[in-house]
Structure 1
Amino acid sequence: MKTTIAEAGKHTNQTVTIGAWLANKRSSGKIAFLQLRDGTGFIQGVVVKAEVSEKTFRLAKELPQESSMYVTGTITVDDRSPTGYELAVQEIDVIQEANDYPITPKEHGTEFLMDHRHLWLRSKKQHAIMKIRNEIIRSTYEFFNNNGFVKVDPPILTGSSAEGTTNLFHTKYFDEDAYLSQSGQLYMEAAAMALNKVFSFGPTFRAEKSKTRRHLIEFWMIEPEMAFMDHEESLELQENYVSYVVQSVLSNCKLELTALERDISVLENIKAPFPRITYDDAITFLQKEGYEIDWGEDFGAPHETAIAESYNKPVFITNYPKDIKAFYMKPHPERDDVVLCADLIAPEGYGEIIGGSQRIDDEELLKQRYDEHQLSYDAYQWYLDLRKYGTVPHSGFGLGLERTVAWICGIEHVRETIPFPRLLNRLYP
């Protein structure tokens, strides 16, 4: 019977065949221990010399790392194993001997591993990160589908910027200028006017020459937009969404969190509601803590970390100054110097994982913003039309997938949270 490592528990005391690679091995005289992986998980294969052919035992002792094979044996219960099972090997059918595999069990430098990212993905830690990334994506779809959202796919090639910045990748679109999208938000607002509650999930691109542990050039965003929803309702949706994702990972990725040695006690506490602090109060707090920052300045990583350390959950920072936020954010009803927005800051120094706001729904005010930001009416007329034909209060936000993966996994750098990261000086592999 052919099966996978993930399904091994369903075949206890049965003889099965698994297609696998040899991740590592060790031997002790007349017993060889094979660390096998098949992409669905890891299992130990035990080869006892007295119970197998001479050829099988020789292969168990001599096969090099990452050789591919079919392994036939009996699934047995083993309480010492992280999975609870091991494979009593009876036969090995080699597909290929992989000689001189470059990533050995010894320590390697980050640049070396990044040069061999196509192989590094096979390691136990990287496998765990990718499985958790997948669970975050799966539970995201589940959450929004369960809450009446429709998935809409905005374009990747656009004729203008979503946020009016210049950090865009330029390309030619036949005889026109085009850019790789830095956000699908404006298009999602149009979709919300048609479908009420929508979300997108796709790649975005920022041509920022940043080398921090929180930044990628190409990354993935989840961007919901909701018609007839105000800022406060959006915040409640955001905290419920993040809580749902974290709890889904805790329920479905126990082995992966263990492989990463993640302290799950901090994740178990991630349940809505989340604390909130205004930008004004955040500035006062930082100044009392000795940070040199004035009202009107944006927060950097040290500021966000200092604020987050005061809480054991993600924290919303609300009502930022209008001048440091995007043109489409709705002004606060009681103040014209701040907008109805919030950034969600993750604990443990992982920084902002969500940025969101209530959007301007007044046509004349949006025209004013166009003028202030020197935006082209030709390029943005369609966006203005949304306020001209049946405008309604609406809100939205964007969650950065890779930062969220880094936080939930407890890993330092976002380069390990995406299969093939695009960094300032890395376009290979």
Structure 2
Amino acid sequence: MRMELVTIRELKSHVGKTVRIGCWLYNKRSSGKIQFLQLRDGTGFVQGVVVKSEVPEDVWEAASRLTQESSLYVTGTVREDARSQSGFELNVTAADIIQIAVDYPITPKEHGVDFLMDHRHLWLRSPRQRAVMVVRAQIIRAVQQFFDDNGFYLVDPPILTPSSCEGTTNLFHTKYFDEDAYLTQSGQLYMEAAAMALGKVYSFGPTFRAEKSKTRRHLIEFWMIEPEMAFVDHEQSLAVQEKFVSHVVQSVLTHCRRELETLGRDVSKLENVLAPFPRITYDDAIALLKERGHAIEWGEDFGAPHETEIAQQFDKPVFITHYPTAIKAFYMKPHPDRPEVVLCADLIAPEGYGEIIGGSERIDDPELMADRFREHELGDEAYKWYLDLRRYGTVPHSGFGLGLERTVAWICGLDHVRETIPFPRLLYRLYP
């Protein structure tokens, strides 16, 4: 009877026992009469030790034939090994080859970024890229846990929309039979409608921006987490945001220490990410930037150098609040005592990773929202349903959006967002 497969992640429960795993050869080395096989199965990496004097000749020959990324079944005895990254080792007793891989293109030598991106489907197998994907999965798990535990309902907004949330200049246009349609850049407007039905809601899905940007922070297709909350004001929303981000970061620290080590991440900087977070107003941020030699005037938006400068003054993520009304979206509620600024905040990650959250209290006054529609020349027909939310039972409400890939980049300490998603869509890159 064939032995049941276990995973590398499960080896700690089988110390001293003989197990069988399905795996790929990541690398190998030999000292003549011993072969050391670096094996991976998706759940982790483990070293398999083949001793010539302890195995049949056909097992030794099979191990000798293995090439990088060859696939096989390995049978062996699990033993603890403190020197191993996994903490365990396999004394191999059998090796059944599935396929010998020939001329695997990604070798241990250095490769350029374009080459690696052309082979992204294979690059994902490397320890570093696997670690990023494991952290990403844990972040997603923590996001869902936070909202599920705090009374939010998951709602899925449409990807195809008849209009834009913030203007159509950066949207992908398509035809919806005989109508114009766009790939969504945000589910926010629809989530506001859902909040009026369910109270507290969040969406988690893909969004698209047709921006011709090549910065290390931008993707064409990315994933957004967008909560909306009825009867919640700006200050209450900030409290939710900082608790949310703290939960996500601490969850990764708890469950992904080994992956963070693989990435060389300084975890001490993440351990400090606990609510509450510091806050600075847009006014004070402008003054700070001028003091530090930046040529910027009140009313201008912040770019990456400005956000980095501000973030360097703090050891946690920092909220920049109360931006000028003129540079923010039409739906943001003006400050009751200063209509030239809105009740909003951007959350800036430390270490130069920039904005990871944008949020605000939303306009709930029907007349003011109608005025905003006229000012921004938004079509009444396309947005009639959105105005209905203010006409029928309007309430104070707030929401925010967190970009998953920027958050992954920050927590993992990556230089570029292209490594944060399995198959990135970048300017001039749609393959693979």
- TM-score, reference length from structure 2: 0.99
The amino acid across from 1:287 in the alignment is K
3-state secondary structure, aligned to 2:284: helix
Matched, 1:241 2:247: no
Question: In 2, are the aligned partners of 1:161 and 1:181 still within 8 Å (CA)?
Answer: yes
Matched, 1:307 2:310: yes
The amino acid across from 1:68 in the alignment is S
Matched, 1:282 2:298: no
Deviations 1:244-264 (A, max 9, x none): 000000000011011101110
Structure 2 matches for 1:87-102, cutoff 5 A? 87-102=90-105
Matched, 1:332 2:335: yes
Corresponding position of 1:198? 201
Question: In 2, are the aligned partners of 1:27 and 1:61 still within 8 Å (CA)?
Answer: no
Corresponding position of 1:54? 57
The amino acid across from 2:359 in the alignment is G
Distance 1:318 1:51 in 2: 68
Question: In 1, are the aligned partners of 2:226 and 2:402 still within 8 Å (CA)?
Answer: yes
Corresponding position of 1:86? 89
3-state secondary structure, aligned to 1:336: coil
Distance 2:337 2:31 in 1: 75
Give the Å deviation of 1:389: 0.2
Corresponding position of 1:135? 138
Matched, 1:9 2:37: no
Please identify runs of 4+ aligned residues in structure 1 that moved more than 4 A. Answer: none
Corresponding position of 1:152? 155
Question: In 2, are the aligned partners of 1:183 and 1:204 still within 8 Å (CA)?
Answer: yes
Question: In 1, are the aligned partners of 2:62 and 2:96 still within 8 Å (CA)?
Answer: no
Distance 2:30 2:318 in 1: 50
Corresponding position of 1:370? 373
Larger CA deviation: 145-154 vs 39-48: 39-48
Q: 2:175 aligns with which of 172, 175, 199?
A: 172
Corresponding position of 2:262? 259
Corresponding position of 1:400? 403
Distance 1:118 1:62 in 2: 25
Question: In 1, are the aligned partners of 2:49 and 2:90 still within 8 Å (CA)?
Answer: yes
Count of aligned pairs: 429
Distance 1:285 1:158 in 2: 40
3-state secondary structure, aligned to 1:210: coil
Give the Å deviation of 1:29: 1.4
Distance 1:414 1:86 in 2: 34
Question: In 2, are the aligned partners of 1:164 and 1:326 still within 8 Å (CA)?
Answer: no
3-state secondary structure, aligned to 2:294: coil
Q: 2:295 aligns with which of 281, 292, 296?
A: 292
Give the Å deviation of 1:61: 2.5
Q: 2:25 aligns with which of 7, 13, 22?
A: 22
3-state secondary structure, aligned to 1:18: strand
CA RMSD of aligned residues (A): 0.6
Question: In 2, are the aligned partners of 1:320 and 1:341 still within 8 Å (CA)?
Answer: yes
Deviations 1:279-333 (A, max 9, x none): 0000000000000000000000000000001101000000000000000000011
Give the Å deviation of 1:28: 1.0
Question: In 1, are the aligned partners of 2:282 and 2:320 still within 8 Å (CA)?
Answer: yes
Structure 2 matches for 1:226-237, cutoff 5 A? 226-237=229-240
Q: Which runs of 5+ in 2 are unaligned?
A: none
Matched, 1:268 2:271: yes
Distance 2:260 2:339 in 1: 46
